[in-house]
Chains A and B, each alone.
Chain A
Amino acid sequence: MSAAAGTTRHAPRAAHRRATHSATQVLFDAPGPKGRRRIALLSVLSAAVILGLLAAGLWQFQKNGQLDPAKWVVYLRVDYLAFLGRGLLGTLQVTAVAAVVAFPFGLLLALARLSRFGALSSVATVWIEFFRGIPMLLVVYAFLLALPAYGVTFPRFWMLVIPMILVSAATTAEVFRAGIKAVDRGQHEAASAIGLGRRDALVHVILPQAVRLVLPSLILALVTLLKDSTLGYVVSYNELQFQGKTMVSITRYLVQTYVVVSVIYIALNFLLTRIALALDARMKARAVAS
């Protein structure tokens, strides 16, 4: 009850919060007064449930001796950390390479889909819809099992990265397409009125604004990529989760290892969201859509 009252009291500052603080609101619309009340109620209820479950879980762990400090302090050992650190490095490498290739590729796909040339547009549409609809695991299997059957093999790194690129490029293509369409129509007219050709208008006017509009969504795509990299276990690529799995098979500390690994993933994604927030604030200062 008191928590609900607290939320209501802060309601007038919602607009301010939206502009500066709340990370989630980079990605979603702010709810109205009714919505806020409902959210407050549900938050209290779900918090109670979650705390209850957590307490029950901890109680179980305690009973089975999982909370024994000896099982946790090992994660402060240099060799343990180095082992997980190699996984973290692998995860970051895979994600970075996939993003660096997939985002420009996605942009090209979006432009192709919006192209005036019907054939190009159709090919791009089919390509995008295919890779957007297919589970990434199937694409990974294609590179791991199907293609080698025809003599086409890739290093483990690429067996993971190529499927990530294919799937992510298709989803980001739709993000870019939405961004391009969201640029004010007046900007097309303004560009053509002052004498910019189609290409100049696209390069100098439409794309810079579209990319700024979709930056938060791109960061979200990056978070998705980071999580998709966990499919590395399928191809036995040493990314963070696979390293965790290996560690479990050696130490038998299943719960502890996955808690530590999860914390690292959450911290990484939290960091990415903060970056999204900072970028968004900087863009608001320039006010993209005036």
Chain B
Amino acid sequence: MIGFENVRKEYPGGTLAVEDFSLEIASHESVVLVGTSGSGKTTLMRMINRMVDPTSGRITIDGDDVASLDPVRLRRSVGYVMQASGLLPHRTVLDNITTVPVLRGISKRDARTRAHELMETVGLEAALAVRYPAQLSGGQQQRVGVARGLAADPNILLMDEPFGAVDPIVRGELQQELMHLQRDLKKTIVFVTHDIDEAFLIGDRVVILRPGCVVAQIGTPQEILADPADDFVASFVGADRGTRSLHVERVDGRDIVVDADGRAAGVLTAHAAARSGPAGETPS
């Protein structure tokens, strides 16, 4: 469990990055911090592994104030996946993945065995182990980044716009695989992105931030879509653009889902209709 309690961050010179932020993240939950650039979402996430220290307030992991923990040890126990993977260019894929476990004192042989397993987990061919990061595609680099983040088997995984630098098709694949991984691994994930679609896809809960790190709304994707807190949220999630306000039209005996502009978004299948039926009725 991760807790933010009245966290405030002011940079020297008076820039206020975070005014007053509180949030509890349950274990095994994935929470996505989403907002435009300058909303302080990355700053918030970096407070968890003490890359940034708050000016006031506190952050706890399982009840322990992170300020009381040694930053280096803390960072080794928390997985971190960053944009453009942040791999070490002078080290092979295998060495990149084993860096943290070896620093934690695990034998090289054990670390390598585990690294090979992880490569399989994240969908990397074993032959890539001896390659250097520059010899991999963007998607493969990002997979190595995820494998490295998981190498020390952390309970918490911090992901800083990890799929921001790859093309949309690869991004889609990576997102699907992350969700697949999460079903098996059940990590506590804090994920930062500016892509609301990605946020809704990955987050059990989504935190929408305004500039200045003010919380606009916290909730499940369903809650946010069903009831945007205000115009900012509605505009941010695209509810006012019509791409999210879908309705059903009957064409040739089938239910076609159509957006506000009349463009077909998909077909309503019997299975989906049956599932959404009761859920749609309960609130009313």
Give A contacts to B, CB under 8 Å.
186-187, 189-197, 200, 204-205, 208-209, 212, 286-290
Counting from the closest, the 4 A-B pairs by CB-CB distance are A190-B86, A195-B76, A287-B134, A195-B75
Knowing A186-B86, A189-B82, A208-B90 are in contact, say whether A194-B99 is a contact too (CB < 8 A): yes
A195 in contact with B89 (CB, 8 Å): no
5 additional A-B pairs beyond A189-B82, A194-B75, beta carbons within 8 Å, are A186-B86, A193-B86, A204-B88, A289-B89, A290-B133
Knowing A195-B72, A195-B73 are in contact, say whether A288-B99 is a contact too (CB < 8 A): no
Closest to A191 in B: B88
| Total chain B interface residues with beta-carbon distance under 8 A | 24
Specify which of A190, A200, A287 is in contact with B103 (CB 8 Å cutoff).
Answer: A200
B193 beta carbon closer than 8 Å to chain A: no
B90 in contact with A288 (CB, 8 Å): yes
Bound-complex Cα distance A187 to B99 (A): 14
B103 in contact with A192 (CB, 8 Å): no
B23 beta carbon closer than 8 Å to chain A: no
Which of A205, A212, A287, A290 neighbours the largest number of chain B CB atoms within 10 Å of its CB?
Answer: A290
Cβ distance A263 to chain B, nearest Cβ, rounded Å:
38
A193 in contact with B49 (CB, 8 Å): yes
Question: Chain A interface secondary structure, helix, strand, loop or mixed?
Answer: helix
Closest to B88 in A: A205
B53-83 Cβ-contact flags toward A at 8 Å (1 or 0): 0000000000000000000111111001010
Question: Chain B interface secondary structure, helix, strand, loop or mixed?
Answer: helix
Knowing A287-B134, A290-B133, A290-B134 are in contact, say whether A195-B88 is a contact too (CB < 8 A): no
Closest to A200 in B: B103
B258 beta carbon closer than 8 Å to chain A: no
B132 in contact with A287 (CB, 8 Å): yes
B88 in contact with A197 (CB, 8 Å): no
Cβ distance B236 to chain A, nearest Cβ, rounded Å:
28
Cβ distance B141 to chain A, nearest Cβ, rounded Å:
8
Specify which of A189, A190, A192, A287 is in contact with B88 (CB 8 Å cutoff).
Answer: A190
B126-147 Cβ-contact flags toward A at 8 Å (1 or 0): 0000001111000000000000
Closest to A283 in B: B90
Closest to A209 in B: B90
Residues of B within 8 A of A195 (CB): 72-77, 100, 103
A209 in contact with B86 (CB, 8 Å): no
Closest to A284 in B: B134
Q: List 16 A-B contacts (CB under 8 A).
A: A186-B86, A187-B86, A189-B82, A191-B88, A192-B51, A193-B80, A193-B86, A194-B100, A195-B74, A195-B77, A195-B100, A200-B103, A204-B99, A286-B90, A286-B134, A288-B90
A186 in contact with B84 (CB, 8 Å): yes
Closest to B77 in A: A195
Cβ distance A209 to chain B, nearest Cβ, rounded Å:
6
Residues of A within 8 A of B72 (CB): 195-197
Bound-complex Cα distance A288 to B132 (A): 9
Cβ distance B54 to chain A, nearest Cβ, rounded Å:
17
Cβ distance A196 to chain B, nearest Cβ, rounded Å:
7
A290 in contact with B75 (CB, 8 Å): no
A192 in contact with B75 (CB, 8 Å): yes
Residues of A within 8 A of B90 (CB): 208-209, 212, 286, 288
Bound-complex Cα distance A190 to B103 (A): 15
Residues of B within 8 A of A212 (CB): 90
Cβ distance B176 to chain A, nearest Cβ, rounded Å:
25
Bound-complex Cα distance A290 to B145 (A): 15
